[in-house]
Amino acid sequence: MNTVSTSEPLPSYESELRSAPSNALVATARRLLGDRAGAREVTLLLADYGVRVLRPVDPLPGADEPLSAQDGPAGRAFTEQTPVVEPAADGTAAVHVPVSVRGDRLGVLSARLPSPGADQAGVRGLVEFATALGHEIAAVERDTDLYLLARRTRRLTLAAEMQWQLLPGRGCGRPEFEIGAHLEPAYTVGGDNFDWSTDGGHLTMTVTDGMGRGIDASLLTGVAVGALRNARRAGLGLADQARLADQAVYAQFGGKVYASTLLLRFDLATGTVQAVDAGSPRLYRRRAHAVRQFEMEAQLPLGMFEETAYEEQIFSVRPGDRLVAVSTGVHGTRSPQGTPFGEQALREALDTVPAHAPQEVARSVVASLVDHFGSTDLTADAAVVCLDWHGREPATP
């Protein structure tokens, strides 16, 4: 497939995607893949907020049904983040490839490639194209609702609308680490949030659980996360980020409500972690098949009292470690019989998916929680963030 050629006389497909109107990326992809690779039935599927289904953007006639995000060829391409090829009798092949941005899984691009094109090189070309398309979708989302609409199987509550617009992606991957996160109930979430930011030397990650429900919880979390980011972007250390967010929340709400936050800052070169545990999100580590909860030094939630001082504690992660942070809605949820989801269930959930990617882990922990609770209508928000630590080769500059 000549879309990967670097010396083609045509403008590169990236340049065509960049200059396409924000609403026309799918039409442009159809045209490019049709002209340059003979592809037909080109469909962009995006994962819904709950990561249960893949829904088409700008669907082709008769192909507007959502597909499972777990099963079937497209679901497998999404879950396993690998191309899935379905050869047909006429020599063509339906090819499904993941659409992702630096480890954040957006969806799947499906296309029927002609018989001479559906070989390894053709599939590789489609994978490359899908990644370029994913990046361009991320670049246009501020100018159009189109892609975001395809992700909704139903209307979000206002609290969830506010919360999702505050969140980064659902995942982030780099050589040193891979993060996957999941929030439930996705369409009605209130005060649970996760956030991250990386630079050359560090990764800062937070999990926040704003008290209360609905819009109140969402506004509270908005202030707490906004203040944490504001302090982080001013170059302050972790304890001071917590201190300033504490003051901002207290100034706004006078101690009536508060946000529980776990703040972590990883040194990418050494695996040394600074941590502030301001409230209830819990942190578990899976190392060499053993799962244990980190005994963190519990400090006051953000905004509970005036002028709380926070202290950082230090621990370290090793290559191969998997960290899982869960909000109160996860570890505190009870089954119909009254058993809390708790550590045992969480261990089981972590043990059943040892080989999967962090986003799958986060999703399956929430799926176990839903099983445990007996309904998808969880009574409290559940946020799960899974981080796989790969570390850095010591020799790498």
Partner 1 sequence: MAVERALRTAAPHELPDVVGRELVRRYAADSVDLLVADYGLTVLQRVTDLPHTLPPVSVHNTPAGRAFGAQEPFVEGNFGDGSVCVHLPVSVRGDRLGVLSVTLPGGDHVRECLPELTELAEVLGHEVLVAERDTDLYLRARRKDRLTLAAEMQWQLLPGRSCSRPEFELGAQLEPAYAIHGDNFDWSATADRLALYVSNGMGEGIEASLLTNLAVNALRNARRAGIPLADQAALADQAVYAHYRGRSHMSVLMFDFELSTGRARVVDAGSPQTLRLRDGVVERIVFDEQLPLGMFEETDYLEQDFGIEPGDRILFVSDGVYAVASPKGEAYGDAALARAIQHTRLLPAADVPRAVLRELTGHRGTPTPDDDALVVCLDWRGQ
**Can you give the binding site for partner 1, defined by CB under 8 A?**
6, 12, 14-15, 18, 21-24, 101-102, 104, 128, 131-132, 135-136, 138-140, 142-146, 148-149, 152, 155-158, 161-162, 165-166, 168-169, 172, 174-175, 196-200, 215, 219, 222-223, 226-227, 229-230, 232-235, 248, 251-252
For residue 111, list its beta bridge partners. Answer: 95
Nearer to partner 1, 12 or 115 (CB): 12
> Smallest distance, Å, CB 176 to partner 1?
9
Nearer to partner 1, 166 or 296 (CB): 166
**CB atoms closer than 10 angstroms to residue 136:** 20
Residue 293 burial class via C-beta count within 10 angstroms: exposed 0-12, middle 13-18, buried 19 and up: middle
Nearer to partner 1, 265 or 372 (CB): 265
> Smallest distance, Å, CB 75 to partner 1?
24
Nearer to partner 1, 11 or 354 (CB): 11
φ, ψ at 267 (rounded to 5°): -85, 115
* Structure tokens given for 260: 């529980």
Cα–Cα distance for residue pair 146/46, rounded to 1 Å? 11
> Smallest distance, Å, CB 156 to partner 1?
6
Element (H, E) at 244: helix 238-253
Measuring CA to CA, which residue among 366, 235, 231 is closest to residue 302? Answer: 231
Contact indicator for 240, 231 with CB cutoff of 8 Å: yes
> Smallest distance, Å, CB 298 to partner 1?
26
Nearer to partner 1, 65 or 199 (CB): 199
> Smallest distance, Å, CB 29 to partner 1?
15
> Smallest distance, Å, CB 92 to partner 1?
27
> Smallest distance, Å, CB 161 to partner 1?
4
Q: How many angstroms separate the most distant Cα atoms in the chain?
A: 72
Q: Which amino acid is at 365?
A: V
Q: Using DSSP, state whether 291 is helix, strand or coil.
A: strand
Nearer to partner 1, 57 or 77 (CB): 57
Measuring CA to CA, which residue among 166, 237, 206, 386 is closest to residue 302? Answer: 206
Nearer to partner 1, 207 or 248 (CB): 248
Q: Using DSSP, state whether 259 is helix, strand or coil.
A: strand
User: Which residues have CB under 8 Å from 170's CB, separation 6+?
Assistant: 51, 104, 105, 180, 181, 182, 359
